[in-house]
A = this chain, B = another copy of it.
């Protein structure tokens, strides 16, 4: 039982966490808003708010022209580091307690050639540099989050059976970083982490007060999905949920590096798409791509989109078929999972709006009318930035869990 001076709180001790979460999700809010949302007595709410301000988790602000105090997260009461590790790029961001980026550092990386120690060593030095630039003391960090391009055993913070990261299988990423940082470290799959960013600050931010369900799809060199159910990441039995890149297209014989044939990402991931573009250039079927090849252009989704915009039939075909391959697989998942929203991100979105439209059309054509009713399919508004922001949110969700906030308040107590 928490003693808040004359107010004796008889609720379970998670009430502080609950109030804090409401403000985190919907703030700034007036005390009355919280009374309405919780059904708690005004005096109880007021006592908790005073205490949350006293421990430094909330701060007051007076809106312009307003008289009453409005509460919001004391976004500068601490900091978190969000790390996004991709096949070829490392980004480290220093974020405030609302997951807003204060400063960031990126560099190229080669996960096939570099060892985990080298890469994680770089993560540490980038984070230290960011702390230095921001003038932070040694205990300013609440936590570090990192998204990896691999299935992850979340409870233990280790990648499991990464398809393209030699030396990383079960490498103790969380404990390696925790030794350096002396703060909690959380490791998850990169697509899951990006899904969290969409939930709070992206295309899914509007649905169900952060408690909605949706599917996030990242389509780039790899293709993967993050599944969010009632606002929480669904990871599956082995942390492998959402691995849609290796779903097979029946009858397709394209060989995938995984050893199987017809995997979605082997058929239409960014590399496969570039190969198809090159073949269209070499065969002369696409005058646009042939001219680009002549000029030494590297084929990216953006180049193909540019060709499609000029009316090049082959380029248009590549854009539409790419969306159709992905949409056909998603149609099956829509029948199974019946989400209300699918958010698409990743390099292939550079193929343009026609690509999203093709995904959408394939889903609607091939799923049941009821499952597709009111289904929204849209492009991410965050894209690249989702990686570090999502990793920061991963940390904030954990350190600001109901129980943690309440414990924080008790420990700070008299």
Contact = CB atoms under 8 A, between A and B. Distances in A.
Interface of A: 1, 10-12, 151, 160-161, 213, 225, 227, 229, 234-244, 246-252, 258, 260, 328-329, 331-333, 335-340, 366-371, 373-375
Given A213-B237, A229-B229, A234-B229, A336 B374 contact: no
The winner among A235, A338, A339 for most chain B CB atoms within 10 A is A338
10 contacts: A225-B336, A235-B338, A239-B370, A240-B335, A240-B338, A241-B337, A243-B335, A246-B368, A332-B332, A337-B337
B237 A338 contact: yes
Nearest to A244: B336
Q: Most chain-B Cβ atoms within 10 A of its Cβ — which of A333, A335, A374?
A: A335
A340 B247 contact: no
Contacts of A250: 249-252, 328
Contact of A336 (B1, B237, B337, B369): B337
Contacts of A329: 332
A1 to B, nearest CB: 6
Give the oligomeric copy count.
Answer: 2
Residue among A252, A332, A367, A375 facing the most chain B CB atoms (10 A cut-off): A332
Given A1-B10, A332-B332, A368-B258, A338 B160 contact: no
B339 A236 contact: yes
A246 B151 contact: no
A7 B329 CA distance: 58
Contacts of A370: 151, 160-161, 238-240, 243
A37 to B, nearest CB: 17
B366 A260 contact: yes
Contacts of A243: 335-336, 338, 368, 370-371
A155 to B, nearest CB: 14
A237 to B, nearest CB: 4
Contacts of A234: 229
Contacts of A249: 250
A247 B332 contact: yes
A371 B240 contact: yes
A133 to B, nearest CB: 39
Nearest to A9: B10
A252 B332 CA distance: 14
Contacts of A374: 237-238
Contacts of A151: 370
A240 B213 CA distance: 14
B161 A369 contact: yes
Contacts of A366: 248, 260
Contacts of A12: 11-12
Nearest to A333: B336
A292 to B, nearest CB: 32
Contacts of A333: 332-333, 336
A10 B12 CA distance: 8
Contacts of A161: 369-370
B236 A337 contact: yes
A240, A260, A369 — which one has the most chain B CB atoms within 10 A of its CB?
A: A240
A123 to B, nearest CB: 25
Nearest to A160: B370
Nearest to A332: B247
Given A229-B229, A238-B373, 6 more contacts: A227-B336, A240-B335, A244-B336, A246-B335, A247-B332, A248-B331
B336 A247 contact: yes
Contact of A244 (B247, B248, B260, B335): B335
Contacts of A10: 1, 10
A372 B256 CA distance: 18
A241 B248 CA distance: 21
Contacts of A236: 213, 337-339, 371
A217 to B, nearest CB: 11
A239 B368 CA distance: 12
